[in-house]
Structure 1
Amino acid sequence: MTDSADQPPGVRFAVLEVAPEPYAVTPVLTARVGVVAPDDEPVHAIALRCQVRIDPVRRGYSDEEAVGLLDLFGPRERWATTQHTFLWQHATAMVPAFTGTTEVALPLECSYDFEVAAAKYLHALRGGAVPLQFLFSGTVFMAGERGFSVRQISWDCEDRYDMPVQVWQQLIRLHYPDSGWVRLSHDTVNALAAYKSARGLLSIDDAVNALLGAAHQEAR
């Protein structure tokens, strides 16, 4: 967490918790962000923006996790050059009027699409924490000599938060119980459906398992 002379003196942001939003229609995590203003100076509102990034270098990985991260970073011997902080998402929130301290809920919309780098990374983790970096920006509205004073949040105002992997796993179980989500082309879907029907299988899942079993037998 950092301050700058360009932002209102003493204004700080800290991520207190990240948890699944239980009643959302789509997968959403809610980051609870604490906001501190200087010297009990009244703040009329903050139009808050946040860039949320994943910093993979800040944690270690098991061999099983390394296999799941192969598509993202390559083999372990290349990680020194391939592992870099990468964007997860942009989030916004309006902070209502307060004096001193307050908290705001920052919604983080999540995707389980394995073609998205962040989803692929999160799916590969088995335990520990997800190293997140929150880069805050936006506009602060405070009392001024002629009504409102408008100030920009400094570009270097940030905080780090280690989100337990189980938080992500809980979110996925909530929205995708006993299942996952894979995007396929129409041709692939049609081919799987034809394969399923020709062999009297009950579902696409059974068709995929049959194909995987056949490939495993051929590889022996």
Structure 2
Amino acid sequence: MTDLDFRCTGVRPEPFGASPTLLFGLRIEERDHLPVHAVALRCQLRIEPAKRTYDPDEVDMLGDLFGEPTRWSSTLKPLQFAHASITVPAFSGTTHVDLPVPCTYDTEVASASYFRALARGEVPLLMLFSGTVFTGNDRFRAEPIPWHKEASCLMPVAVWQELIEAYFPNTGWLRLRKDCLEDLRRYRSAHALPSWERVFEDLLATAEAAQLKGAE
């Protein structure tokens, strides 16, 4: 069976993508140096949060995901990040390719919420590979990539921050129920507010004033 070895050589933002995309550099080696005609490669990426430490501010931001730090020994479980696929062209020995991984900034998605909570350092990722290898010298054959093929990757937090700032500068995303969104639309219209930022600022100011009045 064809023996492929996978290594992650780095990660960087895709500068010209239609949507936020990270490019993971892969070094793929066929250890027996048999000719590889192509690889239909699939990759599952997982975040391994237990493999790094966290600053106090990061701990506070991660409460929604993992609860109180006293519980982290049982709640700091791997998080699903993304699935990606690519067709690797023919090679012999070793080749290098970029694996495009689409990303989201939806704060309801656990991975995006996790990335947003981090201020610095690196994100421990595990890349799990599967797919099909097309190989053969005298005859063409297809072989599955064994499920145990994987690679570790330390993605700098700064790379994620650079990606999000490029596509969504100084902004964030909230997902709301339709009825809640319609209530906000009516509030905005009734008060002739020029932007959604003003809607939330107005509501927060009203709530703060009511809280101060109640405390008197």
C-alpha contact 1:66 1:76 (8 A) present in aligned 2 = yes
SS class of match (2:16): coil
TM-score calculated relative to the size of structure 1: 0.90
Return the offset for 1:120: 0.9
- Deviation track 1:97-138 (CA, whole Å, cap 9, x = no partner) reads 011111112111111111111111111111111111001111
Return the offset for 1:151: 1.9
Q: Does 1:121 align with 2:114?
A: yes
C-alpha contact 1:50 1:136 (8 A) present in aligned 2 = yes
How far apart, CA to CA, are the structure 2 residues paired with 1:189 and 1:20?
32
C-alpha contact 1:12 1:35 (8 A) present in aligned 2 = yes
Q: 2:92 aligns with which of 79, 95, 99?
A: 99
How far apart, CA to CA, are the structure 1 residues paired with 2:154 and 2:83?
18
Which consecutive unaligned segments of at least 5 residues does structure 1 have? 1-6
Which amino acid in structure 1 is aligned with residue 2 of structure 2? P
Q: 1:206 aligns with which of 198, 203, 210?
A: 198
After TM superposition, list the pairs within 5 Å mapping 1:1-220 onto structure 2.
8-9=2-3, 11-145=4-138, 147-217=139-209, 218=211
C-alpha contact 1:55 1:86 (8 A) present in aligned 2 = yes
Identity level (%): 43
Q: Summarize the Cα distance change of 1:111–1:33 in structure 2 as closer, same or farther, 3 Å threshold.
A: same
- Deviation track 1:134-156 (CA, whole Å, cap 9, x = no partner) reads 011111111144x1132221211
- Deviation track 1:29-48 (CA, whole Å, cap 9, x = no partner) reads 11111111124321111111
- Deviation track 1:38-81 (CA, whole Å, cap 9, x = no partner) reads 24321111111111000000111112111221111001011100
How far apart, CA to CA, are the structure 1 residues paired with 2:162 and 2:206?
33
C-alpha contact 1:48 1:138 (8 A) present in aligned 2 = yes
Greater shift after overlay, 51-60 or 186-195?
186-195
Which consecutive unaligned segments of at least 5 residues does structure 2 have? none
How far apart, CA to CA, are the structure 2 residues paired with 1:80 and 1:14?
29
SS class of match (1:120): helix
C-alpha contact 2:40 2:86 (8 A) present in aligned 1 = yes
